[in-house]
Structure 1
Amino acid sequence: MRVTEEIVAKNHERILETAANLFRLQGIKQTSLSDVMSQSGMTHGGFYRHFKSKNHLVAAALQKCMDKTIADLSPERNMPAGQELLNAFLEQYLCDRHLHNPHDGCAVVALSNEVYRSDDAIRDVYTDGIVRWIEVLSNLLVGDKVVRRRTAMQIISTLVGTMMVARAVNDDALSQEFMGVAIDRVDEILMPERQEIQ
């Protein structure tokens, strides 16, 4: 039976989705191509019909994850733009669901230390995603462009660093405390912004 282009595209997307989940959950190095293909319901031999190498898959999966983070801050989500959208994003980022579900969370939190040791193609995707995240976040803010960019970078650093530590410790109360402090810190960062809006 001839495999249609539609089936090929669906299989490709399934491999990509599975890889993105496994990389965030287990790490890039710890996830084999056999893991990805078996969890996708396909044989290992079929992998190379879709991707040239594991590095090619990592770059594509990372792109998918970064696109999702950007989309969560986009007004096209049928949410109000500006402060309300930013507040909704912050609430979903610093929450128990994100803390306990790394497979479905921010790739920057899950994969930064491995991306640092990866090839340039993977680091290029990561860097582009970070730059886009800064731009999209700064566009939700008001005021001077340089100040908005710095504020966006402060928020991203606070969110990512907090979630990395909150996941790494094996004390749930401490994880919750870190997230609470981060919420307070982001409020402090945004205080001049919110005063300007009022």
Structure 2
Amino acid sequence: MRYDKGRKDASRSRIMEVASHRFRGDGIAASGLASIMSDAGMTNGAFYPHFQSKADLVRESMASALETQSQQLQQALASGGLELAMAMYLSPEHRDHPQTGCASAALLPEIARQPPETRSLYTEKLLTLVHQLAKDLPPRTRDPEGVALGVFAALIGALQLARAVEGTELSDRILAAGADAARALTQPRQKDEAS
């Protein structure tokens, strides 16, 4: 039986949506194709008309998640600037729902073990986020791209730590400390007295 293109596209989107949530929530290695397809309401055999391998699914679902994150960052920067973007990223809600949150914070160690094509795509998408943030830094920021990389490192690291510890008090302190560290990176540097 043949299905129309719209149904095939909907099935593919559903597989990617479920996989993206599973990968970010449970990890790539812990997410088997059988459970992804079951959650998507399909049989295992329905996977291969859409993707050649799990690696293809990982790459495409990660790209989609990072594209969504790029759109969310753009909206946050447009409506409330860097402060709003950081507050949203380091919120208890984001911490408590990794399955719908930042793919980087959820998957970095596993992304580092993916095939070169996936890591290359991840690099491209990360640089898009970095350039978005760099454009929104205060005027006269020296090395805006370097500062944006530092901000992302602080935010992602803080979110990962906040998710790893037990108890919300310490976790909340880590989120606040990460925001302070990211904020400090964006402050204009005073000229050296010797200059």
Q: Judge same fold: TM > 0.5, yes or no.
A: yes
Secondary structure of the residue aligned to 1:143 is coil
Contact 1:73–1:85 (Cα < 8 Å) also in 2: no
What stretches of structure 1 move > 6 A for 4+ residues in a row? Answer: none
Aligned to 1:81: 78
1:142 aligns with 2:117: no
What is the deviation of 1:91? 1.3
- Cα distance, 1:87 vs structure 2: 2.2
Give TM-score scaled by structure 1 length.
Answer: 0.89
1:134 to partner: Cα distance? 0.8
Provide the aligned length of Structure 1 versus Structure 2: 189
Say what the alpha-carbon RMSD is for the aligned residues: 1.8
Check the 8 A contact 2:18/2:40 in 1, yes or no: yes
Q: Per the alignment, do residues 30 and 186 of structure 1 end up closer, same or farther by CA in structure 2, a change over 3 Å counting?
A: same
Residues 99 and 166 in structure 1, CA contact (< 8 A), matched pair in contact too: yes
Alpha-carbon offset, residue 171 of structure 1 = 2.3
Map of 1:16 onto structure 2: 16
Structure 1 counterpart of 2:46 = 46
Distance 2:62 2:72 in 1: 16
Gaps (5+ residues) in structure 1? 194-198
User: How far apart, in 2, do the equivalents of 1:168 and 1:39 lie?
Assistant: 26
The corresponding residue for 1:103 is 99
Q: In the alignment, is the contact (CA less than 8 A) between 1:37 and 1:47 conserved in 2?
A: yes
Alpha-carbon shift at residue 121 of structure 1 (Å): 1.3
Give the match's secondary structure for 2:73: coil
CA shift, 1:145, in A, is 7.0
**Identical-residue share of aligned pairs (%):** 29
Q: Distance in 1 between matches of 2:120 and 2:111?
A: 10
Contact 1:73–1:86 (CA<8 Å) still a contact in 2? Answer: no
Shift of 1:131: 1.1
What is the TM-score of this pair, normalised by structure 2? 0.91
Can you give the 5+ residue segments of structure 2 that lack an aligned partner in the other structure?
Answer: 190-195
Counterpart of 2:192 in structure 1 is: none
